[in-house]
């Protein structure tokens, strides 16, 4: 098991600074805290309840995430960290890899060795082995970002999200609407994008466009959206007039590709996303805004509730359409 000194060495800070950054006690600059949190996840650091006062088990919450350097997961972590600091509760962080052995080790180390009082899992889905193991424990388990059968949690309605952004494009008069979603490369949250795709299909059918469904997938990132945009927009004969992207990162990548190809947005191409990413306003992106930090904070409140958490304790986080300059009626 890694020591706090390993975290400090990797983050290039003192042990005291690493301790403050992970405990939330005392001032630490935001960029320094981000480095320390990322380093703790990379080395798999957990405070020992028997040898350190940093993570007292009765006041510690374990957080399991597949990524610490992506906007959604980082934003959820910020909300979790702030809410835990307010409640004087420690954060025990572990990044979940795709390796089955490592995933089981996460469960054993995080829960059995540190004895955390509750666990928050971000981007874990029903059917995942770790989700099943967490459900077998007699302690609060909260999921963020997608329903896990038998667990409390919080997320937006992803099916409704896919339908709403598609419906917005259809209401403007678009008929050639393509859905750009996550591919099946094992990215966390693939089930989320499956639900968003289902919402797209439903909205297309409701608009009488069921025969014009078009779907393209890409890695869930700005470069992934850019590469997909180049492929989708290359041929004017098959080019859609609008793209409903399953995330803002994909949508931003498409806008960059359109600019490179000389296709003006929104005059010749409307683009809409989901998230309200920190770059969305810069790209004048119309989007369905969710608030990952608020979801993280709400997950903490659920995890610290002084009662058993029944599966009915699922909170649908509100989302709202933010119309900017990337969508308009087709010319």
Domain boundaries of the chain, sorted by first residue: 46-156+292-316, 158-289
Place of tokens 């955390």: 116
Q: What pLDDT does residue 166 have?
A: 98
Cis peptide before 266 (omega within 30 of 0): yes
Average pLDDT over residues 19-36: 73
Say if pTM beats, i.e. exceeds, 0.95.
no
Q: Look up residue 50 and give its two tokens.
A: 């028997």
Inform me whether the pLDDT recorded for 285 exceeds 70: yes
User: pLDDT per residue over 52-88, tens digit each?
Assistant: 434 444 578 888 888 877 889 989 999 999 999 888 8
Q: In this structure, are residues 96 and 106 in contact, taking their beta carbons and an 8 Å threshold? A: yes
* Average of per-residue pLDDT across 110-122: 72
Question: Which range among 34-38, 45-49, 125-129, 288-292 shows the weakest confidence by mean pLDDT?
Answer: 45-49
Burial code (b: 16+ CB inside 10 Å, e: under 16) for 178-188 equals bbbbbeeeebb
Of 106-115, 242-251, 284-293, least confident by mean pLDDT is: 106-115
d(C-alpha 63, C-alpha 80), whole Å: 9
Which pLDDT score, from 0 to 100, does residue 109 have? 62
pLDDT confidence of residue 69: 78
pLDDT, tens only, 199-208: 999 999 999 9
Residue 148 near residue 184, CB atoms below 8 Å: no
Distances (CA, A) of 95 to 69, 103, 118: 11, 9, 16
Residues in the chain: 331
Q: Is 64 or 228 the better-scoring residue by pLDDT?
A: 228
Residue 65 burial (10 A CB sphere; 0-12, 13-18, 19+): buried
**Topology at the third CATH level for domain 158-289:** Rossmann fold (3.40.50)
What architecture does CATH give domain 46-156+292-316?
A: 3-Layer(aba) Sandwich (3.40)
């Amino acid at each position: 098991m890694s020591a706090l000194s390993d975290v400090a060495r990797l983050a290039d800070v003192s042990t005291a600074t690493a301790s403050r950054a992970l405990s939330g006690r005392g001032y630490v600059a935001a960029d320094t805290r981000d480095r320390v949190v990322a380093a703790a996840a990379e080395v798999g650091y957990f405070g020992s309840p028997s040898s350190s006062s940093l993570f007292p088990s009765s006041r510690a919450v374990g957080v399991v995430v597949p990524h610490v350097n992506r906007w959604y997961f980082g934003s959820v972590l910020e909300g979790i960290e702030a809410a835990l600091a307010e409640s004087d509760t420690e954060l025990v962080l572990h990044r979940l890899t795709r390796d089955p052995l490592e995933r089981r080790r996460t469960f054993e180390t995080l829960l059995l060795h540190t004895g955390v009082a509750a666990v928050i899992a971000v981007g874990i889905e029903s059917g995942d082995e770790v989700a099943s193991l967490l459900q077998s424990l007699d302690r609060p388990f909260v999921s963020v970002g997608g329903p896990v059968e038998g667990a409390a949690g919080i997320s937006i309605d992803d099916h409704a999200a896919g339908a709403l952004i598609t419906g917005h494009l259809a209401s403007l008069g678009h008929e050639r609407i393509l859905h750009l979603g996550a591919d099946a490369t094992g990215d966390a949250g693939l089930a989320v994008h499956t639900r968003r795709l289902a919402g797209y299909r439903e909205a297309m059918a409701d608009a009488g466009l069921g025969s014009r469904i078009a779907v393209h997938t890409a890695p869930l990132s700005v470069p992934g959206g850019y590469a997909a945009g180049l492929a989708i927009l290359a041929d004017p004969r098959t080019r859609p007039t609008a793209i409903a992207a399953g995330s803002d990162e994909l949508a931003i990548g498409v806008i960059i590709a359109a600019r490179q190809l000389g296709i003006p947005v929104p005059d010749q191409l409307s683009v809409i996303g989901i998230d309200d990413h920190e770059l969305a306003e810069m790209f004048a992106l119309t989007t369905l805004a969710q608030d990952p930090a608020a979801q993280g904070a709400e997950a903490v409140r659920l995890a610290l509730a002084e009662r058993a958490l029944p599966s009915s304790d699922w909170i649908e986080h509100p989302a709202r359409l933010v119309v900017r300059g990337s969508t308009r009626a087709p010319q």
